[in-house]
Chains A and B, each alone.
Chain A
Amino acid sequence: MDIRAEGISRRYFRRTGEANYFEAVCRTDFTVEAGKVTVLLGRSGSGKTTLLHMLAGLLTPTGGKIFLGDTDLYSLEDKALSEIRNKRIGVIPQGRSVIDTLTVLENILLPAALYGGESRGQEALEWMKKLDIAHLADSRPTELSGGELRRVAIVRALAGKPEVILADEPTGDLDDENTALVLSALRDAARDGAAVLLVTHEGEAKQYADEVWRMNAGTLTREERN
């Protein structure tokens, strides 16, 4: 299912400086289409992550709306929005995003456990094998390298078979081999019907992209593909 931003903006208010706010995202229309990998490029601080968080239902826009299919995400109550985040959107956050008191497998199954739905153990195991972390299932996150932790976060997002996958710098900590593994995994997810957004500042992801957008100071422009 597509996820669509309509005229969204996000202002951050400041106490100092010339203006009393700055706009991280300015009145932007943007769609991540189902079945496609959309790559969003841009320099650090250009507003990419802010846009991704708004799409993920984590950050309320200061203007505009976000639709998942026909559902206006931010018109929902916390409970309903939380459930959508859990069941229909897979977020791969930037940086370290695991709970150290749980094992790797528990971390991966955490989203499923939060709602007590069907166990996603089988899918999880397949993805773990694909991304070469199956042998770490019972390890503690503290015993893992940065690259391994990244892949744990990716498997956690993919195991739930979400309709939308929002990946924030998913290949940041990875070597070339693992980068290729991850990017192709995301492309496979898109082939299976998911709307995949890949936010990165590296150009390498372009070769997996169906669409490429570039963000500059809160404004999006679409790159024409040859």
Chain B
Amino acid sequence: MTKRRMFLRMITASLLRRRSRMLVALLSIGIGATILSGLVTIYYDVPRQMGAQFRNYGANMIFVSADGTSLDAEKTAEALSLIPKEKILGATPYRYTSAQMVRNQLSFVAAGTDFEQVQATSPYFMVDGAYPSASRQVLLGKEVAKTIGAKLNSMVEISWKPSVTEASGDTELKPGAYLAGSAEGFNSALVYVTLKLGDDLSIAEMTVNADSQTAEFGGRCAEESFTKQFIGKLIPLTAGTDVDAMTGATVTSQAVVDAVNKARPTENAQAATGNSLSLQVTGILDTGGDEEQYIFLSLSDMEALTGEQDRFDVMELSVSASAEELEEYVSQITDKSGSVSARLVKRVTRSEAAVLTKLQSLVFLVTAVVLLLTMICVSTTMMAVVTERRKEIGLRKALGASDSSIRLEFLGEGIFLGALGGLLGSVLGFGFAQVVSVNVFGSSIQFQPLLLPLTVAVSMLIAALSCMLPIKRAVQIDPALVLKGE
């Protein structure tokens, strides 16, 4: 009989002889490995699972213009392409402007957006009715609907007037250009002017919107008798010198002059003159936040209203990625895209990271405790085996077995049990993780092939460590005492 055969024979004989004990040890390693493999699977899957859950709480990244103006659609698309497509759950452009309800002249924030994307980036929006799906439809914030008394499916007419801030960035005056401007008049209400320049850059046409002023005084500044004074004159103008103030409306007259002097070129006549649209209310938005004070319309309606194309103020993104990945995307976009500035919604990303860290720490802690318990159980079992085999160990020492060979044998037994338990645990662990995942997160998980060797290796290590104390005890057995029958 060779040394190796005898070694194997001793191990198998010992395992078989103490079947019930070995079964207990195997079971505890198996359970330990199951928890290990299961929780490690969950540990690695939690960010993915939770990431998807977290995305229900809204956008975690926003794009704004780097220079404080509006975002260009093309540049935005370029910036967007720096984030892997499969990670982007939604990217919603918003174009904000101020619009008035024609019926009661109340001003609200109007937001042009892509409703399909809104549902992806803001899944928490609660809409009574439905999101607009065709043009000339509008989603009203709850507060807006309440203020103007709008009901579902009713029609509302909104108007938009250009203001200096609405005008494009080009400040150079050109022949034939349309200009728009506004200034504060009586009671700080805005007065709007729209101008068209002639070939010599003097004012060729002019309209004034003084609806916000008192009709019988300031309101009269919109009349031709007042506006004709401006025709043929070059900007800037001085009140009193170039233009006479309207009697009883000095403040409004000054405001019109200010508005003319502040007027900036706009893209077209419509952008300069303002516009109005009749829209059907398809839904009323309830968010509990500021959105309830907004009017939401489609981008195409927004374009029809303002005449401006392919411009947004902000883009909200919902990106399914870890905090590190998000930071990486942000720095890439900052590096490569000059005009688009990407920012993380820190409130969302931070709380996500905090929850994940806590959850992962918990999983780690539970795994550690279970492995410790496994070690204690295996160690106790092996200690009992050593006690049972005390006589045999003593005899083998007397026959010439060295301490190292005794060590090796027990270690062999432990590692064998560890490998077997690890294999068992890998299979059961996947099942365990699957059950947890389906019940807790409501989605299944993928099998990680690397986890099999890892679980087996860790189980073997745990089993080997568990054997350290029993092995020490075995080596300490005094053959002389055993042979004397003590």
B-contacting residues of A (Cβ < 8 Å)? Answer: 49-50, 53, 56, 58-59, 78-79, 82-87, 91, 93-95, 97-102, 106, 109-116, 119, 156, 168
Contact = CB atoms under 8 A, between A and B. Distances in A.
A93 B404 contact: no
Nearest to B12: A101
B479 A58 contact: yes
- The winner among A56, A98, A100, A113 for most chain B CB atoms within 10 A is A113
A58 B483 contact: yes
A78 B398 contact: no
Contacts of B479: 58
Contacts of A58: 397-398, 479-480, 483
B63 to A, nearest CB: 72
B410 to A, nearest CB: 15
Given A82-B401, A82-B402, A114 B485 contact: no
Contact of B1 (A85, A87, A91, A113): A113
Interface string B6-20: 100110011011000
Contact of B483 (A53, A82, A101, A106): A53
8 contacts: A53-B484, A82-B397, A82-B400, A85-B400, A100-B392, A110-B6, A111-B400, A168-B483
What are the nearest 8 A-B pairs in CB distance? A86-B400, A116-B3, A113-B6, A101-B13, A82-B402, A59-B480, A93-B483, A53-B480
Given A49-B484, A110-B396, A113-B1, A102 B9 contact: yes
Contacts of B184: none
B403 interface: yes
Contacts of B399: 85-86, 91, 110-111, 114, 156
- The winner among B4, B13, B484 for most chain A CB atoms within 10 A is B484
B3 A113 contact: yes
A102 B13 contact: yes
A109 B483 contact: no
A183 B204 CA distance: 141
B147 interface: no
Interface string B396-440: 111111111100000000000000000000000000000000000
Contacts of B2: 113, 116
A82 B400 CA distance: 4
Contacts of B392: 99-101
A109 B402 contact: no
A78 B478 CA distance: 13
B5 interface: yes
Interface string B36-57: 0000000000000000000000
B395 interface: yes
Q: A-side binding surface: helix, strand, loop or mixed? A: helix
- The winner among B5, B13, B395 for most chain A CB atoms within 10 A is B395
Contacts of B483: 53, 58, 91, 93-95, 97, 168
B398 A93 contact: yes
Given A78-B404, A95-B483, 6 more contacts: A50-B480, A86-B401, A93-B483, A102-B9, A110-B6, A110-B399
B403 A78 contact: yes
B402 A78 contact: yes
B5 A113 contact: yes
Contact of B402 (A79, A87, A116): A79
Contacts of B405: 82, 114
A97 B391 CA distance: 8
Contact of B17 (A91, A94, A101): A101
Nearest to B3: A116
Given A93-B395, A97-B395, A119 B400 contact: no
Given A94-B483, A106-B1, A83 B14 contact: no
B141 to A, nearest CB: 82
B14 A101 contact: yes
Contacts of B396: 99, 110, 114
Contact of A115 (B3, B10, B395): B3
Nearest to A79: B402
A125 B142 CA distance: 101
Contacts of B16: 101
A109 B399 CA distance: 11
A168 B401 CA distance: 20
A78 B477 CA distance: 13
A53 B483 CA distance: 9
A78 B4 CA distance: 21
Contacts of A156: 399
A120 to B, nearest CB: 10
A109 B6 CA distance: 10
Nearest to B14: A101
Contacts of A113: 1-3, 5-6
B401 A114 contact: yes
Contacts of B1: 106, 109, 112-113, 119
A98 B403 CA distance: 19
A111 B405 CA distance: 13
A169 to B, nearest CB: 11
Given A53-B483, A58-B479, A85 B3 contact: no
A49 B486 CA distance: 13
B428 to A, nearest CB: 31
Given A97-B483, A99-B392, A113-B1, A106 B402 contact: no
Contacts of B6: 106, 110, 113-114
B469 to A, nearest CB: 19
Contacts of A50: 480
A184 to B, nearest CB: 24
Contacts of A95: 483, 485
A117 B142 CA distance: 93
